[in-house]
Amino acid sequence: METLTAVRGFKDILPPETQLWRHIEDTARKVFSTFGFQEIRVPILEKTDLFTRGIGESTDIVEKEMYTFHDRGEESLTLRPEATASVIRAYLEHALHTSETVTKLFTIGPMFRRERPQKGRYRQFHQIDAEILGPDDPRTDAELILMLIQFLRTLGLNGLTLDINSLGCPECRPAYREAILGYLHGQEEQLCSDCRRRLKTNPLRVFDCKVDLCGQIIGQAPRLTQFICSGCRDHFAKVQQALKQFELPYCLNDKMVRGLDYYTRTTFEVTAGSLGAQNAVVGGGRYDHLVQELGGPDIPGIGFAIGFERLVSMIPEGIPLTPPALFIAALGEPALQRAFLIGNRLRCGGIIVEMDHAGRSLKSQMKKADRLQCKYTLIIGERELQENRALLRDMSASTQEEVCLDQFEEMFSNRAR
């Protein structure tokens, strides 16, 4: 019978890589909590409207990447393609804004986008997402970016680039929209059909197009930075000043428009050359009108999302696994039975113990103990068992001592402590 495989673009995360995942999650929880963030868990499935309204109808995500279906003909549901819209939905639904003026939330979990799978790009991928709702001052932007960089540094990641840009606000964007439309006037026919459509909905999206010719045409277009109003310019200058105070190097990238429509003012990405074509490991920015667009009060926000799989691929050595404290090599059925008891009792006491129930040769059991880098091996032979003793071998020092089996558990628990 044909064996079943996972869905294309969906992948299993196997041990020992899962240990690295947990290490990354633990690090995020630790670093984020020092900056006052609390964890929120939101559903994977939401009403489709949340994303069409939140992310924007002219984005690639909403246009062609969402996993949307009718729930038994009742309502249109979508597997979340990102977390920001869901976090805000929960924030409003539970009126979190009424108890605090500043709300800092993070969430970790799977997201779904029906993109063409390739290295670093999956249809189910994971994000570590952080959002600050309430403040709109530039220090908040810098603080969030500082936390992000601190997290990446704690993981030992170097060679990353932080790109920042300002996407302006509803005051300054209309003039820029006109400028882009003016610039593209007469060249519309050369643009791809998606971009021609985007001209009507959101001309800024043309910057995001992957088609070569569209890229060439838009490459010469006027930039939003030439059009932003004094309020946005001042805000962006203060964000940069604060980044400098923390000596955080950054590049100004006025072509970066981000792939979601909700952004205003500060936007940023962290990229790594080592990642190849899919080189953005983090994307984020300010969204001062999203809460209102989703039916809430006028509350600004800013956040980022880190691509988990891309982060993991940047830590190739992984993290060292904790080796077992003890391997029990046993010869013959009575010794195996004794090893089974001792080993499992030690495990219940919190000591990592490995053993082999199959009764293989001493040589192959010792090989396994070596491979697992066990600190000690307890060797129980048939004759030793009858005399209630065994050999305890210190694997790195290559020394061994005779131990009394009856007292071994207590003795080893003390030693391992």
Footprint of ligand HAM (CB under 6 A)? 82-84, 113, 115, 121-122, 125, 127, 129, 131, 259-260, 280-285, 303-305, 307, 309-310
Other Cβ atoms within 10 Å of 21 Cβ, number: 19
Return the DSSP state at 295: T
Neighbour count for residue 313 (Cβ, 10 Å): 17
Residue 127: C-alpha distances to residues 12, 80, 158, 312, 331 (Å): 16, 11, 20, 11, 48
Query: Are 168 and 228 within 8 A, CB to CB?
Result: yes
Closest contact distance (angstroms) between CB of 52 and ligand HAM is 15
Pairing of strands 251-252, 280-286: unpaired
Count of C-beta atoms within a 10 Å radius of residue 277: 8
Nearer to ligand HAM, 117 or 350 (CB): 117
Nearer to ligand HAM among residue 247 and residue 298 (C-beta): 298
Say how far apart CA 344 and CA 119 lie, in whole Å. 42
Tokens standing for residue 359: 């009764």
Q: Would you say 119 or 415 has its CB closer to ligand HAM?
A: 119
Q: What's the min distance (Å) between Cβ of 115 and ligand HAM?
A: 5
How near is the Cβ of 29 to ligand HAM at its closest, in Å?
A: 18
Nearest to ligand HAM of 110, 349 (CB atom): 110
Nearest distance from C-beta of residue 35 to ligand HAM, angstroms: 15
Q: Which is nearer to ligand HAM, 128 or 221 (CB)?
A: 128
User: Minimum Å distance from CB 94 to ligand HAM?
Assistant: 19
Q: Is the dihedral of CA 130, 256, 212, 66 positive or negative?
A: positive
Nearer to ligand HAM, 306 or 380 (CB): 306
Q: For the chain, percent helix, then strand, then coil, each to nearest 5? A: 40, 20, 35
Give the nearest distance from C-beta 143 to ligand HAM in angstroms. Answer: 15
